[in-house]
Structure 1
Amino acid sequence: MQKALGAIALAATLGVSAGTSAQEPAKPTVVFVHGAFADSSGWNGVISQLNRDGYSTIAAANPLRSLGGDAASVSAVLKSIPGEVVLVGHSYGGLLITEAANGNDNVKALVYVAGFIPEAGESAFTLSTKFPGSTLGDALQPVALANGGVDLYIQPAKFHAQFAADIPKDVAALMAATQRPVTQAALSELTTVATWKAVPAFTIYGSDDLNIPAAVQSFMADRAGVVKAVEIPGGSHALMISHPDEVAAIIQEAAIIEEVASAQ
């Protein structure tokens, strides 16, 4: 009896009931934002792994029409989610998560996957050409729109080498055929905030990325003072498809940091 009472007292001191363990903090929801020349299906391998590990996931729609409008669309999704969020962006999606996180205090970490990490006043075009190495300009195929704007695609014959050199050719061919265009205006529009100054940021990118060269990625990571930067040797721009395990791992690192913070 004395031992039982002692156990109950110890449990009370630790803030738990006798016979139960301390409640683990809830996992944050992981929200994904795809970039240009892609769609949400590119996250499938990463999402499957995170779902198996108990994470709730949402692949937000990205209209690819304007930076401000696209970011507002993602922001609306964030406002609908109760609890903490780890926000993940690929390529142009990196610009969007930086903008969309502003004013959404439930965003506890930003993860850039071969993504732009912009300072305020920068665009996808200015950042991608900051250092040599991007061959995207020569691979683009413009399509004039009725409203006077221009949609940009990657030429199908160049898609594999340009965007996804480290995945099978037949998979890249499907991606080329189903790619979603981005407007030229969206890639030229300037960012307004640098949310990574207030929110912990992580990045993972490939050494052989021909859209956003590794030199640009390294520069952005250093400037942002990211918590962790991972360079995948030989990795292409389609890193979430060719290396889903590594991408899922860095997302979980971001989530674990937030879980620990929540438990304190």
Structure 2
Amino acid sequence: MTASTSPTVVLVHGAFADASSFSRVIPELLADGLKVVAPAVPNRSLIGDAAYVASVVRQIPGPVVLVGHSYGGAVITVAGAEENVAALVYLAGYALEEGESLGELQGGFPDSDLAAALVYTPFPIEGAAEPGTDVSVDVEKFPAIFAADVDKDVAAVLAVSQRPLAAQAFAEAAPAAAWKTKPSWGLVSSSDRTINPDVERFGYRRAGMTTVEVDSSHLVMLAHPERVADLIREAVQAVRS
């Protein structure tokens, strides 16, 4: 492939995290000579966040392998409809159906431990009479629920540097489901306490994805970066082929 047609890997972080959650995967991909982009997702609304990621994707020449972790899976489900997205990779993520919200997908399964650890905080919205609501994870409970197999010092930093998700994002319906037309791969974190692993399995199975399971906490990219990088490599190779 020429430089312009070699796949670029775009890494989309989830709620309660930022692009640094891919800090152990990015060196693996760069060592392969891959181009990598890891944008900061606003985490304000599903439709708005997907539009932002789509705008990033549109500016990339050549094919894109779009990778989404957790809530980022919902984002790539919508943003992945961009013409140059050649493959999707879900990491412990939500693979929504068109017209489905995060709340609806999760509502079909028992709650994870996350549900009882959420903290709701008002935030001002410019021009709006009513404030919005930020959702984050109780700092004391974050390591066990989100990052049980991640270095404890790293988990402590992650707990106090969360990027909250606006509550609005849970209720918005996905206007598109890119996995219907794009080849997709999914990783299930089988020891996930943030998303019920059955939510991940259901979405992936419904989409007909190539699926792997890893005995991991929710932050599989930090706990098992080699396994994550291998799955991304599989998608990249499929695009190259």
Q: TM-score, normalised by structure 2?
A: 0.94
- 92, 104, 109: which one aligns with 1:131: 109
Question: More displaced, 213-222 or 46-55?
Answer: 213-222
Q: Normalized per residue, which structure has more helix?
A: 1
| 1:121 Cα deviation from its structure 2 partner | 1.8
- Does the aligned pair in 1 maintain the 2:67–2:76 contact within 8 Å? yes
Could you tell me how far apart the structure 2 residues matched to 1:78 and 1:23 are? Answer: 19
Paired residues for 1:107-256 under 5 Å: 107-147=85-125, 148-226=131-209, 228-233=210-215, 235-256=216-237
Aligned residues: 236
1:19: which partner in 2? none
Structure 1: segments with no counterpart, 5+ residues: 1-21
- Does the aligned pair in 2 maintain the 1:123–1:191 contact within 8 Å? yes
Deviations 1:154-199 (A, max 9, x none): 0000001111111122111100011110100112211111110100
| 1:251 Cα deviation from its structure 2 partner | 0.4
What's the Cα RMSD here?
A: 1.6
Could you tell me how far apart the structure 2 residues matched to 1:39 and 1:100 are? Answer: 18
| 1:27 Cα deviation from its structure 2 partner | 3.0
Question: More displaced, 135-144 or 31-40?
Answer: 135-144
> Which residue identity does 2:213 align to in structure 1?
E
Could you tell me how far apart the structure 1 residues matched to 2:107 and 2:217 are? Answer: 17
2:128: which partner in 1? none
Cα 1:198/1:177, change in 2 over 3 Å: same
Report the secondary structure of 2:119's partner residue: strand
1:3: which partner in 2? none
| 1:105 Cα deviation from its structure 2 partner | 1.4
1:49: which partner in 2? 28
Could you tell me how far apart the structure 2 residues matched to 1:121 and 1:166 are? Answer: 35
Where does structure 1 differ by over 4 angstroms across 4 or more consecutive aligned residues? 22-26
Could you tell me how far apart the structure 2 residues matched to 1:77 and 1:27 are? Answer: 17
Report the secondary structure of 1:126's partner residue: helix
Could you tell me how far apart the structure 1 residues matched to 2:191 and 2:101 are? Answer: 22
Question: More displaced, 212-221 or 105-114?
Answer: 212-221
Which gives a bigger RCO, structure 1 or 2 (Cα 8 Å, sep 6+)? Answer: 2
2:52: which partner in 1? 73
Report the secondary structure of 1:251's partner residue: helix
> Which residue identity does 2:139 align to in structure 1?
P
2:84: which partner in 1? 106
- Does the aligned pair in 2 maintain the 1:128–1:134 contact within 8 Å? no
- Does the aligned pair in 1 maintain the 2:4–2:62 contact within 8 Å? no
- Does the aligned pair in 1 maintain the 2:113–2:194 contact within 8 Å? yes
Q: TM-score, normalised by structure 1?
A: 0.86
Q: Tell which structure's C-alpha radius of gyration is larger.
A: 1
Structure 2: segments with no counterpart, 5+ residues: 126-130
Deviations 1:192-243 (A, max 9, x none): 11110100000112111112111111111111000x211112x111011101
